[in-house]
Amino acid sequence: MNFRAVAVFRKELRDFRRNKLVVATMVFLPLFLLLLQIANVLAIKQGTPENVVRGTLGGAGLAFFLVPLILPTVIAAYAVVGEREQGTLEPVLTTPVLERELLIGKALAAVVPSVLISYALYLSYRIVVQAAAAPVVVKLESRPAWVVADILFTPLLATFSIWVVLAISVRSNDVRVAQQLSGLAMIPMIGVIALFTFQVVTPSVRVALLGALGLLVIDSLAWRVVVRLFDRERLLTRFGST
């Protein structure tokens, strides 16, 4: 990875670690979702109608996909507009750092912890399911389509979330507006994921792989759009350079 992008990445992580509110949000929300889903799943007894089981597991699946979608927004919405409000953006823009280096550094700093937390969450959930859930739950949760989807979708969804939020952040004038718009921007993607988790689209390994490929394409397009949207002049003066 580029040296300057690494510098941005390291600084962002240091800054998050010292922001107790961000750390608390990143820990509390996933923990709450994990406990909620575990409680739901453990309540399922052997002999529960399959449609009920599928519905409960669909909700749990959606919850686990929400984490990589929502967590990065906590960090990334602040990434550009927050720095501008704090007055730290201008000194950064005076350095030789390129737009793409700055954005990659910031994106990775949001993606890496979000993905690690999401994987840890999923792993904890699976351990509990294997150890204590009813056999029907264990059987359904062990389907290869789910495992593949969880492994592949998590980083791709987090990346998608980052680019959307960064796009909003580089064009917003206020952190709160950026955070609210970022939340709204996630709704269509949540809808698509729900089609998969509630089995409106039949979950298979093929569908999971195709979905991951689609997300990869969307992510790379979104990255190009964000780099284009990053306009130093607009960020410093509120007037665009074009």
Partner 1 sequence: MDEAAIRATGLTKQFGPRTAFSDLSFEVGAGEVFGFLGPNGAGKTTTVRVLGTLIRPTSGTAEVAGVPLGEGSDSRLRGLVAIMPENPGLYLRLTVYDNLEYFAGLYGVPKANVRGRILSSLDTVGMASRAQDSAGSLSKGLRQRASLARTLLSEPKILFLDEPTSGLDPVATREVRELIEGLRSHGVTVFLTTHRLDEAERLCDRIAVMNTTLRVVGRPDDLRRQLFDSTIEVRTRVPLVDPQSVLGGVPGVRTWSLDGDGSYQVTAGDIAAVTPELTRALVAANADVLRIGEVQRTLEDVYLQLVNEDVEVRR
Which residues bind to partner 1, rule: CB under 8 A? Answer: 3-4, 6-8, 10-11, 14-15, 18-19, 86-98, 232-233, 236-237, 239, 241
Q: Are the C-beta atoms of 171 and 77 separated by less than 8 Å?
A: no
Q: How far is the CB of 95 from partner 1 (least distance, A)?
A: 4
Q: Give the C-alpha separation, 174 to 89, whole Å.
A: 14
If we measure between CA atoms, which residue out of 40, 21, 42 comes closest to residue 32? 40
Nearer to partner 1, 19 or 180 (CB): 19
Distance CA 58, CA 197 (A): 5
Identity of the residue, 94 or 202, whose beta carbon is nearer to partner 1 in the bound complex: 94
Q: Which is nearer to partner 1, 101 or 141 (CB)?
A: 101
CA–CA separation, 160 vs 81, rounded Å?
19
Decide whether 15 or 58 has the Cβ nearer to partner 1.
15
Shorter beta-carbon distance to partner 1: residue 19 or 124: 19
Q: How far is the CB of 101 from partner 1 (least distance, A)?
A: 9
CA R_g for the chain? 19
Least Å from the CB of residue 189 to partner 1: 31
Q: Nearest distance from residue 237's CB to partner 1, in Å?
A: 6
Least separation, in Å, of the C-beta of 235 and partner 1?
Answer: 9
Q: How far apart are CA 111 and CA 148, in angstroms?
A: 19
CA 139 to chain CA mean position, Å: 27
Question: Buried (b) or exposed (e) across 196-213, using 16+ Cβ within 10 A?
Answer: bbbeeeebeeebbeebbe
CA terminus-to-terminus distance, the chain:
31
Q: From CA 69, how far away is CA 33, in angstroms rounded?
A: 13
Question: Rounded to the nearest whole angstrom, what is the least distance from the CB of residue 63 to partner 1 in the complex?
Answer: 31
* H-state helical runs in 18-49: 20-42
